[in-house]
Structures are given as structure tokens and as C-alpha cells.
Amino acid sequence: MSTDARTASEDGYRKGPVLLRGEQIPDSTSDERLLRGADGADWLHGDPWRVLRIQSEFVEGFGALAELGPAVSVFGSARTKPDHRDYVAGERIGSRLAEEGFAVITGGGPGVMEAANKGAHEAGGTSVGLGIELPFEQGMNSYVNLGVHFRYFFARKTMFVKYASGFIVLPGGFGTLDELFEALTLVQTKKVNAFPIVLVDSEYWSGLFRWLGDSVATRGMINPRDLELFRLMDDPDEAVEFVAATCRAVSGLE
């Protein structure tokens, strides 16, 4: 059992709708157990129940977010401190999105997620957090005014896309990259249409952009036009204005 999991958060450990503390905190997550593979014939008894649990996560997520209205998902590192420029940018983006009439959806954790939620909340907007069961529990930040906890990443990722009209991505790690490339893949394969994606901080993202052009596109792994599926920007206000204008144009509001 991980010591970090046991003492992860004063707020406790979220397992779907269940709150656990102390010795009740498990040593593995629902995702980990799902992906562990078959263990003899035990999966015949356990997996059908998992299917029902997964179904319930989609039902709960759809029910909580169905009347959300226009929204933008904002992603970035959970490790960003409040005095960092990325936190300041995230807070500004959350505030400006709320002023433009968009709900702000994040993963509900600390760092950039908290910053965007804080900006939206303090601007009087709807601040959404989609939490996830993790070995190192982050908890839902205090600026979320509509929160949903998930056991499974794939159910949570569906909500990020289904109820958002665009993505704004600030610097982050593997989780942020996963969410970015999920969005790019959905747009590239036309699973979603005219979905604006903005990467904020060109200094941080320019290496990735060059690699996609010089290596991936050059070797024919993507079409060079695929690099037009997202924009690099430095000004949080400019990022919000672009996403808001694109969303409104697609929805016919302009």
C-alpha cells in the first residue's frame, strides 16, 4: 500500500460517489483494476458489474452537465504554483471565458485547473470540475461550483469533449498532453467538427510544434494541414477571443 495514497488528502479519497479516509483508502484505483487483465475466471464475475458501474458514470455525468450551456475545457499542469505565470494566465482565461458567457471545465484539481476555476468563479461564471480517482488524491479545488467525480478516465474524458465547444491548453505534463492529443485526434478524424484548440505559451509548445512538422508530417504520419488544427498564442485574452468567436460562428450566433 502506498503511504502517499493513505495520507493523500485531508479531504479524503474519492472513489466515485464514495468518500474514503484513513485505512479505508484502497491500494489501487478502479482504472488500474480494470486494466490489470484477466485473473483466472474471476473477471467473469467482476467485469459485468464493472460495466454497470461504467454505465452509471456516464449517466451521472450526462445528468449533471446536460444543461450546462456553452463551455470551454481548460487544461494544464496540476503542479503549477499560484505565483507562477501559468497560474496567472489560467486565472485570466477562466475570468474572461465567464465574461464571454462560457462555463469553464477543468479536471477540478490544483495548479492551472484551480486557476481557471478560480477565474470563472470570481467572475460569476459556472466553474466545473471533473475529478478522477487517483493513487495520489488531489481533491476538488474550492473554486468548483459544479463538480463530478469519476472512477474511469475514459468516462471523464468523454465529458471534457461532449460538453465543451473548444479547448484552451496551458503548459502541462502527460495528462495535459493526453487531453490535447485526444482533442486533436477527434478533430482530425472529424468525430467533432470545427473544434477550436489553442495552446497558450508559444515558448513552451514550440518544440512540440516543430517536431510535429519536421518529423511527424515530414515522414507522412500526418498531413501538413493537420498542423492547422490548433493555434499557438501567448496572450490569454487573445486565446479566449479566438475560441469564443469560433464557437459563436459555428453555432450561428454571429
Q: Which residue reads 487573445 in cell numbers?
A: 238
Query: So what's the pLDDT on residue 235?
Result: 98
d(CA 154, CA 171): 22
CA–CA dist 217, 219 (Å, integer): 5
d(CA 89, CA 105): 16
**Angle, vertex CA 236, rays to CA 253 and CA 192, nearest 5:** 45
- Mind listing the pLDDT tens digit for each residue in 167-181? 999 999 999 999 999
What would be the CATH architecture of the domain defined by 61-251?
Answer: 3-Layer(aba) Sandwich (3.40)
Q: What integer pLDDT is reported at residue 3 of this predicted model?
A: 33
Structural contact between residues 25 and 6, judged by C-beta atoms closer than 8 angstroms:
yes
Q: What is the pLDDT of residue 185?
A: 95
Res. 251 pLDDT band, cuts 50 70 90: confident
pLDDT higher than 90, residue 211: yes
pTM of the model: 0.82
- Closest to 162 measured CA to CA, from 141, 182, 178: 182
Lateral strand order in the sheet of 231-233: 146-150, 127-132, 103-106, 71-75, 167-169, 197-200, 231-233
Kindly tell me if the per-residue pLDDT of 46 is higher than 90: no
Task: Outline where 106-196 has alpha helix (H).
Answer: 112-122, 153-162, 174-188
pLDDT at 24 over 80: no
**Which pLDDT band, with edges at 50, 70 and 90, does 5 fall under?**
very low
